[in-house]
Structures are given as C-alpha cells and as structure tokens.
Amino acid sequence: MKVTAVILSLCLAFLCSCQSSQSKKVEAPFEPNLELLELIKKVEAAITDVKHPGREYANRLRGDSYKMWFKYWQTGKSKPNGSQGYIVRDIKKILVHIEAGKTWPKAGSYKIPKAQKAPVIDGKLDDPAWKNAATWTEIYRFNKTEKGGPKSTWKLTWDDTHLYIAFDFADTDISAEKRKRDGHIYNDDCAEIMIMPDFKFRTYWEIVIAPNGSVYDSIQCKDVDKWGMNTDPKQNVPGMKHAQVINGTINKPDDVDTGYTVEISVPFSSLPGYSRAKPAIGQKLHFIMVRLDRNQGKFTPYAFRPLLSWGHNIWNHAEMILAK
C-alpha cells in the first residue's frame, strides 16, 4: 500500500508539472524594427568625425536620452519614457540640420577698428567711437541662411583696456520682466553676445542684457562631444558696464514702441586667457551676437549672421580681429 501511494503521488506531481508547463506562455523572440535599425545607422554615420557647424546637433544625438532609445530598438529591453513617434521625428529633423552643416556659410572673420576714445556707456550710442566701429545691419533667424527680421544694428570696437558692444534694435512691442541677476533673461526681449578668446580651451562669457537692465552673465565651457555646455552663472563678468535706452513703453502691448539700445563694455582682463595679457592689433577672438525677440507672445531668436542651432554652437561662431 505504501509503495502504491508513493507511485500515485509521483504520477500526480508529474501530471501537475506537465499542466503547469503547458499553461505558461512562450514569449516570441524579439524582432527589431528594420526601419529603426536603419535610422540608428544613419545617426552613427552622421555623428562620426563632424568638422562643420552641424557638430552641435551631432553632439545632441550623442546624448544619453537618445542612446536609451537606440538600445531599446536593438534589444527590446527597458523602454524609455516618452513617445517613440516624437523621438523618431526629432531624430530625423536633427539629421537634416547636421546635413545642412556641411554646406553652411562660413562663420567669417571681421576686422574690429580701434576706438580713438572710449564711448560713454549710457545707452545712447552717440559717441564718435560708434561711427568708426565695425557695424552689421543684417539679421537671420536661427537655422536660416536667408536674411529677414526686425531692423537690427550690431557694433563692435575696442581700446587698450576694453571691448565695446552696441545693439540698436527696432521693436514695436518691447517686453521684459524685471528679473534677478542671472534669471531667465533670455526668455524676454534681449541682446546677447558670446566672447571666446581661444577656441582651443572652449571657454567663453555669455552676456545677456534686457532693455530694462536685467542681466544674465555666465562663464561657459564646452565639451567636444557633448551637447550644451558646463555653466557657472554664479560668476559675473568683473568690471562689466552696461546701459540701455528704451524708445517706447515697456510691457504695454496695446501701444506701438520704436525700439531699444544696449551698450556694453567688457574689460579684456576679465576674458579667459587675458588676465595677464593686453589686447593688441592682430589678436583674434571668437564671438556671436544674438537677438532674442518676444513680440505679442511669439518668441523668435536671431543672429547677426547665419547661425545653425543656437548661440552656444561654438563651431559656428565668427572671428574678430583687433585692428587699427
């Protein structure tokens, strides 16, 4: 009897085991989407050894958020948060910008005349120094090579101690919140310049001035293969002066304004690499000048020359040459 009971128990256990294994669903092997794999190949080819202004966009595709999606498409494991459709469209759009970088207009090199006498920083732009300054009157929307935008004048000059920058922007609806230093000034109407003495070190000042005098200034440092920058807004430009003049009524959209001017002086001694050096004729610095325009709630970024991506695309910055 005992032997029979043992045999019956073993048989019952075997039957239960068989039923359990049959009830388990067999997962189908993962089959990657061939179109998505092809997209990954296009990304890998596009971001390899980029030596043109499209590098900033290429660096964006090197980011961890995109790598997570690539891994998911290849393995089917650990799906990232967000919409796959949106990511695919975003990648395709970025690839178009990277391709555009191959034939993007060269950044250009500009001689900056030396001022005989330093301008008074009062925002009026009526000093003789500005009459002889390097001057640009063209304006371009980000990622566009065609000219177009509100009337804008950009000026640069220098002397033995300072670099001087002036902006004269026509604007029918001047708007800017009063913000603390290093607040989100770039969300308002404002003028902006990036100044980088030596491309080798990829370190530069970002200076943003709103028509109401709000200031954002920060030291920035770029990684070679990383989108964005390492920023330290706690550092302010030592000795910088600025002034603004508003021709109109700020933050009153129901009337029509004329525009505003911004005038800035930056000591050469405050620039990275200039702490123990003096400016001299023939020296070169890298820069970009930007206008951020908010009109009737619509926000549009512009530059004084064709700019791919945004102001922090140092591979698309222009070159200034200190001249007589």
DSSP one-letter string for 71-115: HHHHH--SPPSS-HHHHHHHHHHHHHHHHHHTTPPP--EEEEPBP
Which residues are within 8 A (CB) of 322 and not within 5 positions of it... i.e. 6 or more apart?
112, 114, 158, 279, 280, 281, 282, 283, 284, 285
CB atoms within 10 A of CB 51: 9
Q: Which residues contact 73 (CB under 8 A, 6 or more apart)?
A: 32, 33, 36, 37, 39, 40
Tokens of 296: 């009737």
Q: End-to-end alpha-carbon separation of the chain, Å?
A: 115
Q: What is the pTM of this model?
A: 0.89
Topology adopted by domain 109-322: Immunoglobulin-like (2.60.40)
Residues in the chain: 324
**What is the model's pLDDT at position 173?**
96
Q: What is the pLDDT of residue 158?
A: 99
Q: Among 192, 195, 169, which Cα is nearest to 274's?
A: 195
| Confidence at residue 9, expressed as pLDDT on a 0 to 100 scale | 52
Distance, in Å, from the CA atom of 57 to the CA atom of 242, rounded to the nearest integer, reads 33
Q: What is the pLDDT of residue 309?
A: 97
Q: 174: closest CA among 214, 204, 139, 203?
A: 214
- Interacting residues of 155 by C-beta distance below 8 A, sequence separation 6+: 125, 130, 133, 134, 135, 136, 164, 165, 166, 167, 168
Domain boundaries defined on the chain: 34-101, 109-322
Task: Write out the chain's pLDDT in tens, 324 residues.
Answer: 444 544 445 444 444 454 554 445 566 788 999 999 999 999 999 999 999 999 999 999 999 999 999 999 999 999 999 999 999 999 999 999 999 999 999 999 999 999 999 999 999 999 999 999 999 999 999 999 999 999 999 999 999 999 999 999 999 999 999 999 999 999 999 999 999 999 999 999 999 999 999 999 999 999 999 998 999 888 999 999 999 999 999 999 999 999 999 999 999 999 998 866 789 999 999 999 999 999 888 999 999 999 999 999 999 999 999 999
* Cα dihedral 223/226/228/233 (nearest 10): -40
Phi, psi of 92 (to 5 degrees): -60, -40
